[in-house]
Homo-oligomer: A and B are copies of this chain.
């Protein structure tokens, strides 16, 4: 049964959602930029597009796909236009701050986080099938209507995503570990190498760097604005994970300084054994405590 789907923010995520959902639904898109609206219509990514949020009056479900920092202000402008039963959901990579800001303002709000992306951004980068097999986390609270959760879950399922349910707090703590902390760890590696004071050694290091450095430094050279937003909107959990990380690092430094080679090797054996548990195929069933049955 086709619905009217609103998408506010026609970038990589909003555009990719539109490409998948337009198969079964009518898509209304809003962008700040008239050019983006034109392009979205010309490429038939949306059925209608506007720079004016009043277009959302027609929508049964609205996906908020702006950058994290714009979600709250967008909702304030959007609320006067919404149909009374409209369901609002967002795609932000942090959930606590977003849910705390929006849930009190709109009953039918469901926090969401489709965990997919590419190194690109903008409508040009939008892809159909971006969410296939990827996690789509929903973070309803005790007061979120189950019908609203069900409708958003149904849409996420139609993208062929794997749906996970958890609290906003559990989401933010989990993504701090596996998404936000790696960015900070990786960026600090690059920064440390740059602190080498001998040009000869720095030059040599740059020449000899290979796949190990390449992989470990990759997420530390991602979009700086996105990295800042992660830290800004998930500050408490990012700080907590950074302190836990520094504690582990300090233990390792002590082992090296004190030549505790057996202890160091034990530590590296533990991390070698543990890593595969973080690499399970997201399409693989077997995390029933958090994933949809």
Residue positions of A touching B, CB distance < 8 A = 115, 134-135, 137, 164, 166, 170-171, 173-175, 177-179, 181-196, 198, 200-201, 203-210, 212-225, 227-228, 231-232, 235, 238-239, 241-250, 252-253, 256-257, 259, 261, 264-272, 274-280, 282, 287, 289-291
Contacts and interface: CB of A to CB of B under 8 A. Distances in A.
A207 B291 contact: yes
List 10 tightest A-B contacts by C-beta distance, closest first: A224-B268, A221-B275, A190-B271, A192-B245, A182-B216, A174-B204, A178-B209, A228-B265, A191-B248, A209-B278
A213 B178 contact: yes
B265 A225 contact: yes
B204 A171 contact: yes
A230 B140 CA distance: 48
Given A187-B271, A207-B135, A212-B182, A261 B228 contact: yes
Contact of A222 (B191, B222, B272): B272
A212 B179 contact: yes
Contact of A274 (B194, B204, B207): B194
A270 B188 CA distance: 11
A209 B255 CA distance: 28
Given A184-B256, A205-B278, A238-B256, 13 more contacts: A166-B200, A174-B204, A178-B208, A184-B249, A188-B248, A192-B247, A194-B270, A194-B271, A203-B287, A207-B291, A217-B278, A227-B264, A228-B268
Contacts of A200: 166, 170, 289-290
Q: Which of A205, A215, A220 has the most CB of B within 10 A?
A: A205
A252 B220 CA distance: 12
Contacts of A242: 249, 252-253, 256
Nearest to A288: B203
Contacts of A212: 178-179, 182-183, 218-219
Contact of A246 (B198, B249, B264): B249
A267 B198 contact: no
Nearest to A186: B216
A183 B50 CA distance: 50
